[in-house]
Amino acid sequence: MPLVDTLRLVGAFGTNKVMAGELSRLCKRALTRHRLATPRKAGSGALVYPFDPNVARVAAMYHRTASRVLWDLAESSAARLEPLYDDLVDALSSDQRAVFWDGASLSVRARSVSRFAAGERQIVGTVKNAICDAAAARGMTLSVDPGAPDVNVAVRQHDDVTTVSLDLVGHAMHRRGYRTRTGQAPLRETLAAALLMLARWDARSDVLVDPMAGSGTIGIEAALMGPGRPLWRPDEVAMFRLPGCGDLPRDAPPLFGDTVPRVVVNDIERGMCEVARDNARRAAVNLSIEAGDFRRLDRATVTRSVGGDAERGVIVSNPPYGERMDAELLRLYKDLGAWCAQFSGWRAGFLVANQEFEAAFGRKPRVRKPLRNASIPAMFYLYDL
């Protein structure tokens, strides 16, 4: 089993290009005179770069569209548990990287391993035993702590190759911590950030409007993404506990601190507006929050809400899907298309899991991109208005 040394960004289906663009933008600002390598695609939702601890730090602290930031340690093409164990022990017992330490605790998680000739729990047990035995061969004793480990190990499979990695953040990236309450079928924070990227929203010049905001996730992500606010405090990030990463800078200022996003969110339910307000307060961002039917939200109101100058803007939203196509939902989509007409010169992007949306909306999109909202197949439509 060869040792590998790569940085892996894992995201939602169809977000490879978005993740690459975001990391490039972040590194240009955070790392002086650094040229980011061209990534290798690993399926429709993962990118692989040569490992650089400084790039990994930027990704772990600031990258908003990735769901996991991983440090790949080893790979194996073994199809059974015994060879996988042997490969891991052989490789990691001679690994000189400062990854584990005596007394460290670990937890192992396996995902996307359905091609392997064993169950997920068996794979987890095999990898755990191999890592502990390899550490013992180097004079270290590791323990298992599923609840609060020092090191989180991720096991994934792509093209019949099993990769063993360290999770550099230590948990799923969409768990930002600012959402205490949500509406029905909430949009994950990472996907909300991806929609903003796909809509090419520029926080320096574009107003951002979400006319059906629910708990405010798209608007809050915009308000955080614009100034490049870090996702976590350094003490919340697992990579800073690794011996090999101890010399990395821990300060994490906003990368685009001179940018002040102008964001307007609206929802027909006043209760959801209060949820959005509470979530925004926890995220420490300012949003203009309107309550009412989006059909009554006109361009003049948006202009007043942001203090004038709304010549450029982007509408991004995740409208209701509905379990079946009925007249009321068709009317909503048609009215949404008519409502957008007042924002001439803007762009509008919608994530919808309903095949009838495009016809009902009444415009031809410039972009149709398949995505997934959790397990639901969806389509992102981008329009020039």
CATH number of the domain bearing residue 106:
3.30.2130.30
87 and 209: one domain?
Answer: no
pLDDT exceeds cutoff 80 at 185: no
Distance CA 215, CA 277 (A): 8
93 and 138: one domain?
Answer: yes
305 and 199: one domain?
Answer: yes
63 and 202: one domain?
Answer: no
- The three-state secondary structure class of 234 is helix
Task: Give the single-character DSSP code of 211.
Answer: T
pLDDT score at 163: 94
Domain that holds residue 221: 189-226+261-384
9 and 40: one domain?
Answer: yes
pLDDT in tens, 252-280: 999 999 999 999 999 999 999 999 999 99
pLDDT in tens, 29-83: 999 888 899 999 988 889 999 999 999 999 999 999 999 999 999 999 998 999 9
Go through 305-339 and write b for each residue having 16 or more CB atoms within 10 A of its CB, e for each that does not: bbeeebeebbbbbbbebbeeeeeebbebbeebbeb
pLDDT score at 35: 85
Q: Is the pTM of this model over 0.75?
A: yes
Residue 74, φ and ψ in degrees, nearest 5: -155, 155
pLDDT in tens, 297-327: 999 999 999 988 889 999 999 998 765 558 8
Q: Is 248 exposed, middle or buried (0-12, 13-18, 19+ CB in 10 A)?
A: middle
158 and 195: one domain?
Answer: no
